[in-house]
Amino acid sequence: MSTRRNALVVVLPLGAVLAATAAPARWHVRGRTTRGAFPKEATIDPSVAVRMAGVSRRFNGTQAVIGLDLEVPAGEVVGLIGPSGSGKTTTIRMITGSLGPTAGTVEVLGERPSAFRRRTRERIGYMPQLFSLYPDLTVGENVDFAAAIYGLMFWRRWRRRRAVLQLLSLWDVRGRRASQLSGGMKRRLELAAAMVHEPDLLILDEPTAGIDPLLRRTVWDEIHRLRDRGVTALVTTQYVTEAEECDRVALLSEGRLIAYGTPDDLRREALGGEVVEVTMQGLFDVGTLQRSPGVKGVRQTGPKTFELVVDDAGTATPDAIQAMAEAGTDVDSVRALRPTFEEVFTTLVERSRSGGPSVEPEPSADGAPEPDQPTSAAA
């Protein structure tokens, strides 16, 4: 007579795994093995949520990320923007610890992702690019399960579940199975699961993909609300216009960081400064303005119109107008030109591709050949 034992197997999605790993990390430091948090030799700067120094990642000889240096200040919204295949998702995976760098170092909330403590994992909310929740659970059950994994007690869990589902317009479908949701609803459900425990660091991989414009506005309003409460948000997106929603923007192209700064800083970098369009009442030799203080460039765009590239439009424009008046030419109108972020992005990417170095294979951190990895991770 044989005895059959039934085993219950629970498979956790990646977001839950970030919170559920409870075993303390082991460190080998100066010939001894220790347990606990990041070694004392590590530098912990509370003003920086994420620090990446010289980070590269290779898959089967293909460089997905190349020499990435990036610091994400605490309490800000930082956008990772770039076309498909630029390395955004690979960068996110290295930050969450699900993928190790080939070279360079990554620190998140003062710890290396490969040795996160449970408390540190509970401070991170992660929304992956692909749906990873349970299709057989209802909307409410998925969010409730995520909240429980992150350690929320019953009453707070119930309040937070209701709050995020109402915010993302999912409360009315809380009893519907996840497998019966549309693509946009699934994205909202994953966002709710990432936000339910009110993390200190929110990592969102394409959170607005497949969501209608009105709800996209709601999502960004919630991200800004969390930012105002001190939450750091790292957001990837292919919608270049969403750069305006970020405090800082990192532009990625072909695995390289080609620009990093505030949206206005990137505009100035793309154009060489601030741009002012001037319309004259008569003819004038605009080349003479090149010698004016603060003027970096002049371009004639019509018989009576030209554009000035200046360091500071507020100070350089009056000087240019005065110089024209002294030459006997009156100004009809002056207006600042503010290019769209699509134009900024296109200019910076094309400049990088025309003047950037060719991609060379990089050795792994220990000099050994890189093991075979699937090439589909770069995104």
List per-residue pLDDT tens for the chain, 379 residues long. Answer: 444 444 433 444 545 444 444 333 333 333 333 334 333 334 556 789 999 999 999 998 889 999 999 999 999 999 999 888 889 989 999 999 999 999 999 999 999 998 888 889 889 999 988 888 999 999 999 999 999 988 888 889 999 999 999 988 899 999 999 999 988 888 889 989 999 998 999 999 888 877 788 878 888 888 898 899 899 999 998 788 888 999 999 999 889 999 999 998 898 888 888 888 888 877 777 777 777 777 787 877 887 887 878 877 777 778 777 777 777 777 888 887 788 888 888 888 888 877 643 333 333 333 333 433 433 333 4
**What are the CA-CA distances from residue 168 to residues 212, 226, 286, 309 (Å)?**
12, 14, 54, 43
What pLDDT score was predicted for residue 44? Answer: 55
Nearest to 276 by CA among 327, 311, 303: 311
CATH architecture group of domain 272-337: 2-Layer Sandwich (3.30)
What pLDDT score was predicted for residue 21? Answer: 43
Give ranges for CATH 3.30.70.1560 in the chain: 272-337
CATH architecture group of domain 48-261: 3-Layer(aba) Sandwich (3.40)
- Are the beta carbons of 360 and 307 closer than 8 angstroms? no
CA 16 to chain centre: 21
- The single-letter code of the amino acid at 76 is E
Cβ neighbours, 10 Å, residue 39: 15
What pLDDT score was predicted for residue 5? Answer: 42
Give ranges for CATH 3.40.50.300 in the chain: 48-261
Nearest to 178 by CA among 189, 192, 193: 189
DSSP-assigned letters across all residues of 27-42? EEETTEEEEESS-TTS
* Neighbouring C-alpha atoms within 13 Å toward the C-beta of 206: 20
- Dihedral, CA atoms, 81, 87, 93, 94, nearest 10 degrees? -110
- Dihedral, CA atoms, 98, 99, 103, 108, nearest 10 degrees? -20
List all residues 6 or more positions away from 172 whose beta carbon is below 8 Å from its beta carbon. Answer: none
What pLDDT score was predicted for residue 27? Answer: 38
Token pair of 79 as six digits: 């956008």
The pairing of beta strand 62-73 with beta strand 25-29: unpaired
**Phi and psi at residue 154, in whole multiples of 5°?**
-55, -55
Nearest to 150 by CA among 280, 15, 5: 15
50 bridge partner residues:
72, 108
